[in-house]
Structure 1
Amino acid sequence: MFSAGVRRFATSAIRRSHYEEGPGKNLPFSVANKWRLLATMCVFFGSGFGAPFFIIRHQLLKK
């Protein structure tokens, strides 16, 4: 009884989900334009890498 209900729920949940499939469709950003993706990744990773250096510079120049 319980397993039949679980099976019905699982199959209906799968049937209701209608997401696009394929490479890059499940990401929170677009991979269609490679130059925009490159710029976005450079800004994202560059800010994380450069932040400690800018913080140290700010602290050293502070009076």
Structure 2
Amino acid sequence: MLGQAVRRFATSAVRSSHYAEGPGKNMPFNSDNKWRLLGTMVVFFGAGFLFPFIVVRHQILKT
């Protein structure tokens, strides 16, 4: 009884969703403009790469 209600709700929730389908449409960022995507990726990964070096430099200059 409960299983049927859950199944009915799940199928109705899937049918009522109106999201675009296709490659790149389920990502949280826009991938249509390749240069903007490149800039976003450089900033995102570059910040994560540079952070330890900045912290070490700060600690060295602190003493």
TM range (shorter): 0.7 to 0.9
1:19 is aligned to: 19
Runs of 4+ with deviation above 3 angstroms = 1-4
| Secondary structure of the structure 1 residue equivalent to 2:29 | coil
Structure 2 unaligned residues grouped into runs of 5+: none
1:49 is aligned to: 49
Question: 1-side partners of 2:6 and 2:18: how far apart?
Answer: 20
1:34 is aligned to: 34
Question: 1-side partners of 2:23 and 2:6: how far apart?
Answer: 30
Q: How many residues are matched?
A: 63
1:10 is aligned to: 10
- Give TM-score scaled by structure 2 length: 0.84
Percent of counterpart pairs with the same letter? 67
Distance 1:61 1:7, change over 3 A: closer
Structure 1 unaligned residues grouped into runs of 5+: none
